[in-house]
Amino acid sequence: MLPSDITNPSPPSRFLPAEPFRPLDIDNCLTPLRNLAVGRMGQMRVVQLGCGITGLVCAEYLEKNPKVDELVLADMRTDAAEGMARRVKSDKISVVKTDASDKNALKKLLRGTDLVVCSITSELLGKIGEAAIGSGVNYLDFSLSVDFIKEFEALREKCTDSGITYITAMGADPGMSDVFARYGADMLDSAYEAHVRDGDNAVAKGYDFFTLWSPLDMVEEATTPAAVCKNGKISYLPPLHKKETYEFPQPIGPLPVYNTTHEETFLIPRFIKGIKNADFKIAIDDEFAAKCNMLRKIGMHSKELVDVKGTMVRPLDVVVATMPRPVELVGMVKGSAGIVVEILGKKDGKDVMAKVWTTLSHEEAYRICRSNATGYLVGAAGAVGAEMIISGELKNRGLLVPEQLPAKKFIERLPPKRLEAKSKITPLR
């Protein structure tokens, strides 16, 4: 049976709950913030682990933070990090070649570190998080680890016992989108439904099959069943099941979007009271969708090892190896990207929709930080979360998701990063 024939697709293991889906009692899941260890003489050593298109945006903002006196840029490929170091010319910065899958290398890297910001593929996030907990190092990442949903309670207990602050899924979407959902819900008297839309009309001359986010994560997202939350329960649609057109704010405009499995579908109903229905849709152009459907039908989306003339390889890794790295497209991308969150609920007894959104052009992102808008939104949002750890302003510590951050304070930190969160409430007819 081909994946396209699946009528009741099984969920990807990344988001498979180990227990019945239910709202979390947030008031009982956090421990009071104890003294934040801020390093030597009030200064901090920060490690940016993963120095691609998103990590370097975050790193550039952290370099400007007066409480950070040492910033380590760590990656297996150091060319982009070295390029940033040459451009920024800061004596705070050092570049280290590191294999994030090597437990001993991680332990050495984290020694004496106050905060590690992790911007690598979700496959390795669990190992990095465990290393941070074991080393007593505050931690932030841009997406969920593979086993987060299944192991949430165990991870929360470990973070509480270690005394660290551990913020997960703190990128653009997930991350900023979840904060927008919290902000939108706070605008209403009650909320019952959430929709997240990710739009990007990017073009890169000479490239037909590319993504401005992690190629591995994006291809996997487009070739696996799509999660939706209805009446508080998670179910799955076949990959790229149904195309619809969504009208994004200008200058993006109308784009085709599809349901995909994304963190918000799991996090928003669990951490925002009252929300029972939630979904995520991302803009995917017809050509990219057709290619991903073909890859899925011939099995090239698989992560299972196959023997190719005596060498064991994963088909998905072969596909990703043929795609350009997002950092290789810097300065070549035209268009705009944006995130829109719609929260349906009640206000003064009437059904209304609170909409919160932000947009940015790829050209502006390049002018600001030698990035593209997609990478910039992720990295800038991560930088805000990291700044909240560094400043000590969070009232609670332990395991935190974006919905648990102070939404108003988060949004107030966006304008200095050239981002504006717009919002409005409209009646539902």
The predicted-structure confidence for 193-238, as pLDDT tens digits, reads as follows 999 999 999 999 999 899 987 898 899 999 999 999 999 999 999 9
Cα separation of 137 and 163, whole Å?
A: 9
Q: Decide if pLDDT at 38 tops 50.
A: no
Q: Is the dihedral of CA 48, 140, 124, 336 positive or negative?
A: negative
Predicted local distance difference test score (pLDDT) of residue 389: 96
Distance of CA 310 to the CA centre of its chain: 36
What share of the chain in percent tops pLDDT 90? Answer: 78
What share of the chain in percent tops pLDDT 70? Answer: 90
Which position has the token pair 């790193």? 59
Which position has the token pair 């024939």? 5
Which position has the token pair 């390049």? 366
Cα separation of 423 and 180, whole Å?
A: 9
Predicted local distance difference test score (pLDDT) of residue 42: 57
Bridge partners of residue 334, in order along the sequence: 203
Predicted local distance difference test score (pLDDT) of residue 32: 35
Predicted local distance difference test score (pLDDT) of residue 16: 45
Predicted local distance difference test score (pLDDT) of residue 362: 96
Sequence-ordered alpha helix ranges (H) in 361-406? 362-369, 373-391
Cα separation of 48 and 116, whole Å?
A: 6
List of E strands, 83-232: 93-97, 115-118, 138-141, 165-167, 190-200, 203-204, 226-230
What does each C-alpha distance from 159 to 150, 247, 383, 397 come to in angstroms?
16, 41, 21, 8
Q: Where are the domains of the chain?
A: 3-15+173-361+419-427
Predicted local distance difference test score (pLDDT) of residue 379: 97
Q: Is the dihedral of CA 204, 89, 66, 41 positive or negative?
A: positive
pLDDT band with cut points at 50, 70 and 90 for residue 290:
very high
Structure tokens at 135: 């080393």
Q: Decide if pLDDT at 17 tops 80.
A: no
Overall average pLDDT of the 269-290 stretch = 96
Q: Decide if pLDDT at 113 tops 90.
A: yes
The CATH code for residues 3-15+173-361+419-427 is: 3.30.360.10
Cα separation of 278 and 171, whole Å?
A: 19
What does each C-alpha distance from 424 to 117, 184, 280 come to in angstroms?
33, 9, 20
CA atoms within 13 A on the CB side of 311: 6
Q: Decide if pLDDT at 289 tops 60.
A: yes
What single string gives the DSSP state of each residue in 3-33? Answer: GGG-SSPPPPGGG--SS------GGGS-EE-
**At residue 280, what is the residue type?**
F
pLDDT band with cut points at 50, 70 and 90 for residue 39:
very low
pLDDT band with cut points at 50, 70 and 90 for residue 102:
very high
Which position has the token pair 């986010």? 213
Cα separation of 256 and 281, whole Å?
A: 9
Q: Decide if pLDDT at 6 tops 60.
A: no
Q: Decide if pLDDT at 78 tops 80.
A: yes
Burial class (CB in 10 A: 0-12, 13-18, 19+), 7: exposed
Q: Decide if pLDDT at 27 tops 60.
A: no
Q: Which residues contact 180 (CB under 8 A, 6 or more apart)?
A: 339, 341, 356, 357, 358, 407, 421
Give the CA angle between residues 316, 318, 324 to the nearest 5°: 100
Structure tokens at 59: 């790193």
pLDDT band with cut points at 50, 70 and 90 for residue 147:
low
Count of C-beta atoms within a 10 Å radius of residue 265? 24
Residues 301 and 240 sit within 8 Å (Cβ to Cβ)? no
The predicted-structure confidence for 150-205, as pLDDT tens digits, reads as follows 788 899 999 999 999 999 999 999 999 999 999 999 999 999 999 999 999 999 99
Q: Decide if pLDDT at 360 tops 80.
A: yes
Q: What are phi and psi of 168, to 5 degrees?
A: -115, 155
